[in-house]
Structures are given as structure tokens and as C-alpha cells.
Structure 1
Amino acid sequence: MASEEVDRFVSRRQSLGEGHTEAWKRTLEEAQMLADDRREDGWEATYVMAAHTDTVSTDMNDHDRFGLMHVLPNNFADRFTEAYDSDAFSEYLVYGTSVDGVMFVVIELIDPEGHRAILVPCSYDMTMAQGMSESAAEAGVLPSYFKTIDGEILARFDHEEIEPLVTPPNA
């Protein structure tokens, strides 16, 4: 990212302040509430917070990966790895909203047969996501990658519906 772009990005983040803090707090609370509701219904629910989520397009890196890149701190990465099975988790739900161009969402990965759910609260800046959105539209799918802080990819989950996870930056 060019220095001018970084400065613009940092200035924008600093100006948004309290509204984003409150939206993030509500997102975390909603994820916990959803996990509790699933448990009350007899499901196994795992809460895994993404410490950071990037929007990545195919032209940003030396590899062809694009989508949402969720960075999981070690304690949550361990929980995720213990709970996730790529063959069993076949459905998902998305809860959340856009606030000043930033998505605040809870992604719920669902194993319908095993009655298991993984709830992942995350936030990402849609003003920096045009390339990712274009890559997803071209591929017809929006992947979520779950990785550790040191970059190890733990899993990929493909979202067939792009719209619940992407809104225009000024929506």
C-alpha cells in the first residue's frame, strides 16, 4: 500500500471512533448470545473471535487466494481447529451490518447433521474491498480463510451468497 493510501486509511479509521467501537461491542455480544442460544437448543457451539480480517483480491499477492482472511489468535485457532471439519460444516448464516463502510458481522458456520456451530465475530473495511468483491463475483463464491497470526491456513469455507458479507462502501 502506498504511503498516501496508508495515511488516508489511518486518518479515516481515527475519525470513525466511537461508532465503530460500539458496533464491535454489539457484534461480540451478538456472537455470544447466538452461541448461548444454540447451546440452549442442544447444539455444540464454539465461539472463535477473529482478531483481524482482511479483504483480499487475486491481484494483491503472489498466490491466487482471495476473500476474507480471518486471523485467529492462538487460543482461538486451537478452538477452531478442534471444532471444524470441512466435510461436516456445509452451511452458514451471516448476522450484522455495515457502519460507515465497515462490515461488523458474525459468521456462523453450521454442521446441520452434527448439530454444531462455530460463531466468528469479525469486522472488515469495505472501502478497501473492491478487488475482493470483483474476484468473488467472477468466481461466483466468496471464500473465508481462517489462519493463524503467523499465516498458517487452518481452513477455507466458501460462501455461495456474496451479498450478506459484502455491501457497497457507502451503504
Structure 2
Amino acid sequence: MTDTGSDHETRGRPTPGQEAVTNAWERTLEDMDALAEQREEQGWDVVTIRAGTTTPTAPSNSSDDRFGPSFIVPDDEAEQFEEAFERGGFPLYEVYRETVDDRVFLVVEYRDPDAETVIMVAGQYRLRDAAGMATAAIDEDAIYTRVRTLDGTVCGSFQHDEYEKFVPDVERVANWHDSVDGR
């Protein structure tokens, strides 16, 4: 958030929290780029995607009852993703994550050794928006990630059994939902 105080010396400057968030996002992108370079040196075909928005979706907010991080990407990056996605099944994945304030910054690396292809998607979401997603993940013992365009077109979706990788302190986050709903 930008400081809009009346002091002309400080107006428009980022707040300390905003600076930490900006730095965390920059680190996330730098880490993704470094990992992509490493994978390319190992012989993988790598596609990197930077989500403009990442929405922690609960089953009630999904048209197909899938829940988890939904990465919203621009059309040109959606095309790159779809081309790579069509090459394989991507049975392997890893999640690289950092939490700053109430934001989760993550890079999800999807790998298909047979297709020698890696897709990396960077995104960020607010923990306070993730209670429904966390509750569903615990209840179903799974979580989904999907890449979609701004108009809602799903470009690809993945199911993951290790939902804890996507939500830090998942039990605590799920309990936020319980306290809000009065359960």
C-alpha cells in the first residue's frame, strides 16, 4: 500500500510492508529464472510463466469443484503454457515457497522426464483468502493447481497429493475459515 500522508516528503513512497512484498516477488522471479537456467543446462526444455494474479480457489468458487491456486496468465503466456502442457503428463512437481506478511510467494515446477519438458509458474496469493482452499485440501487430502486466462479459460490443471507444499501451516489457515464461519 502506498503512503498517502499529507507530508509531501513521504507521499507516494511505499510502506515498509509493501517494500517487503515487492522484494519477495522480485526474489521469487529471480529464483525461478535461476532454476530455469539450471534446468536448461541439464538439457530440459523450460517454459516459465509469471501469473498476473493467483487466486486461492475454494470448491464453492469453482465451476468444477476443483480447489487450489489458480494462476491467471496473459494470453501470450497461456499459449506457451498450452504448447508445453500438451507435450506430456508432468508426473513430477516441486513447490518453492516463501511467506512474507500474509502473502505466499511460490514457484511450482512441473516436470515430465519423458518429454524432457519443465513448466514453471510463479505466483503469489494472500493467506487470508486461502481458508476455504486449505479446508478443502485437508478434507480431500489433495489440492489442484490450474493455469487459466483472464476470461476463465482453463489452459491446464494438475492434481497434487502433497497439499502442504502449497499452503504454509495449512491447519492454522483452515481454522481461520472455521472461526469466520462460526463452526
Specify the TM-score bucket, using the shorter chain as the normaliser.
0.7 to 0.9
Whole-Å Cα distance in 1 between the matches of residues 140 and 24 of structure 2?
Answer: 30
Aligned length: 158
**Is the CA contact 2:88–2:115 (under 8 Å) kept in the aligned structure 1?**
no
> Structure 1 residues 62, 103: closer, same or farther in 2, change over 3 A?
same
Counterpart residue identity of residue 131, structure 2: Q
**Is the CA contact 1:56–1:69 (under 8 Å) kept in the aligned structure 2?**
yes
1:62 Cα offset (Å):
5.5
1:86 Cα offset (Å):
7.7
% identical equivalent positions? 32
Whole-Å Cα distance in 1 between the matches of residues 115 and 16 of structure 2?
Answer: 44
In the other structure, the counterpart of 1:143 is: 144
Residue 89 of structure 2 is aligned to residue 88 of structure 1: yes
**Is the CA contact 1:57–1:132 (under 8 Å) kept in the aligned structure 2?**
yes
Counterpart residue identity of residue 19, structure 2: E
Counterpart residue identity of residue 73, structure 1: P
User: Where does structure 2 lack aligned partners over 5 or more consecutive residues?
Assistant: 1-14, 174-183
1:15 Cα offset (Å):
7.2
How far does the alpha carbon of each residue in 1:95-150 deviate from its partner, in whole angstroms, 9 at most, with x for none? 12111121111100010222210111111111211110011111111100110111
Aligned partner of residue 106 in structure 1, secondary structure? strand
My pick for the range that moved more, 54-63 or 148-157, is 54-63
**Is the CA contact 1:94–1:105 (under 8 Å) kept in the aligned structure 2?**
yes
- Which has the bigger relative contact order, CA under 8 A and spacing at least 6? 1
**Is the CA contact 1:126–1:168 (under 8 Å) kept in the aligned structure 2?**
no
Computing the radius of gyration over CA atoms, which structure comes out larger, 1 or 2?
A: 2
Whole-Å Cα distance in 2 between the matches of residues 59 and 21 of structure 1?
Answer: 31
In the other structure, the counterpart of 1:116 is: 117
Residue 167 of structure 2 is aligned to residue 166 of structure 1: yes
State the 4+ residue runs in structure 1 displaced beyond 6 angstroms: none
Residue 120 of structure 2 is aligned to residue 107 of structure 1: no
In the other structure, the counterpart of 1:4 is: none
1:160 Cα offset (Å):
1.2
1:63 Cα offset (Å):
4.6
Whole-Å Cα distance in 1 between the matches of residues 86 and 140 of structure 2?
Answer: 24
Using the size of structure 1 for normalisation, the TM-score is 0.85
